[in-house]
Amino acid sequence: MEMLKAMGLFFLIQSLTGKEGNMHADEMVSINHAFEIRWEKPGHSPQYGYDIWYQPRHNTMISTSWGAPRAFTKGFNLEHLSEGLYGRHLHIRFLHDPAKDTGFVWSALTTNMIRFFKNQDGSWSHEVSISVKPLKEQNWILPEMPGLITDFLISLDDRFLYFVNWLHGDIRQYNIEDVKNPKLTGQVWVGGLIQKGSPIVAVTDDGETWQAEVPEIQGKKLRAGPQMIQLSLDGKRLYATNSLFSTWDKQFYPDLVQQGSHIIQIDVDTEKGGLKINPNFFVDFGTEPHGPSLAHEMRYPGGDCTSDIWI
C-alpha cells in the first residue's frame, strides 16, 4: 500500500478472471497521475476479482469477489455454488471518513450486511450487522427466495447506508450513526418478483399470502428489481437502475430484455430518514433508437458516493 501511495495513484483496475474464465488472474492494473500503466501482483487477491476499496490512513486495501465468468455468464445455477465457482470474499465500502477503521460488506445470497472493523492489536474482525430474511414463496423455483443484495452505498456524511434487494424488489435505508446498531429508517418497493400481478406470492409464517404494492411512474410499470444505486452528493436524491447482467435478466426477469430497463429517482429525507419515489423522474431505456437497452451502472462526473476516497 505504501508503494501505491508513493506512486501518486490515480486509480486501480481489478482483473476479473484468468485463462478461459476460470480462476482469478491475481493481478491489478495501476494507473498513476502521469497515466503510467503497470501490472501489480498483490499476492492477496480473492479467487474471483470484482471490486476494490482502500483506506490510506490505515494502509489497507480490501479486494472483493464475484464468481467465475464461465459460470455467471450462463445464468445462475445452484450447482455452481457447490462447485466453488462463486467467491467467498468481500464486497466492501469503508466509511468515507478517512480516519475511520470500520466499513461494511454484503453477502448476496444470504442477504446479510456485515460490518468489519479493526481491533486494537491491528487485526480485523467482523459481525453480521443487518440480515434480510428470505421469503417463503409459492410458484417459484425454490421454497424460499433470498433478497439478493446487488449493490449498496454509504452517504458522504456516513449517516445512512442504502442497499437493494434485486429479487424481493425493495430499496432500504439504514441510519448507521451508531455503526454497531443500524436502524431501518426507510424502505420502498420499486419492482421485484413478488409485486402485485406476479404469479409468485410470498407466504407468511402464519400461512397468509401477500404481494408488494409497486406504483407506476408516469404510467409506466416498474420492471425487474432495483440493481445498482447512486446517491447525490448532498444525499437527497437516490437513483436506481434495474439490469444486473443480461443472462441473469433473461432468467429472472425475461420481460426486462424485451421492454428495456429504466432509471428511477428516490427522494431522501436526510433529517429523520425516509424514502419516497419521485413520480416525475423516469428514464426509459425501452425507447432507444436501436431497440430496448439494459441500464446498469451510474456515475457522477465530479465524483460520487461509491468512488470518492479521501486521504
pLDDT digits (tens, 9 = 90+) for 197-246: 999 999 999 999 999 999 999 999 999 999 999 999 999 999 999 999 89
Distances in Å between the alpha carbon of 220 and those of 107, 204, 228, 278, 286?
32, 29, 20, 13, 11
- What residue has cell string 425454490? 142
- Residue 286: the pLDDT is 94
Residues 6+ apart with CB under 8 A from 301: none
What local confidence, expressed as pLDDT, does residue 26 receive? 53
Q: Which of 100, 159, 104 is nearest to 129 (CA)?
A: 104
Within the chain, residue ranges assigned H as helices are 2-6, 69-72, 78-82, 246-252, 254-259
Q: Closest Cα to residue 295, out of 235, 191, 224?
A: 224
Q: Which amino acid is at 90?
A: L
- How many CA atoms does the CB half-sphere of 99 hold within 13 Å? 0
- Per-residue pLDDT of 4-28, as tens digits, reads 444 455 566 666 555 554 544 556 6
Res. 3 pLDDT band, cuts 50 70 90: very low
Residues with Cβ within 8 Å of 59's Cβ and at least 6 positions away in sequence, in order, are 1, 2
In the predicted model, what is the mean pLDDT of residues 283-308?
Answer: 86
Lowest-pLDDT range, 49-58, 118-127, 191-200?
Answer: 49-58
- The mean pLDDT value of the chain amounts to 83
Q: In the predicted model, is pLDDT for residue 60 greater than 90?
A: no
* pLDDT surpasses 70 at 67: no
What are the grid coordinates assigned to 276, written together? 419516497
Which region among 28-32, 188-192, 194-198 has the lowest average model confidence (pLDDT)? 28-32
* 93 grid coordinates: 465500502
Q: Report the C-alpha gap between 171 and 186 in whole angstroms.
A: 8
| Local confidence band at 53 (pLDDT 50, 70, 90 cut-offs) | low
Give, for 53, the enclosing helix (H) or strand (E): strand 49-55
State percent of the chain over pLDDT 70.
70
Task: Tell me, rounded to whole angstroms, the distance of Cα 32 from its chain centroid.
Answer: 27
Q: What is the pLDDT of residues 244-269, one digit of tens each?
A: 989 999 999 999 999 999 999 999 99
Per-position b or e across 106-126, b if 16+ CB within 10 A of its CB: bbbeebbbbbbebeeeeeeee
For the chain, give percent helix, strand, coil, nearest 5: 10, 40, 50
What confidence category does residue 91 fall into, taking pLDDT thresholds of 50, 70 and 90? very low
How far apart, in whole angstroms, are the C-alpha atoms of residue 166 and residue 152? 11
Mean of the pLDDT values across residues 88-94?
A: 61
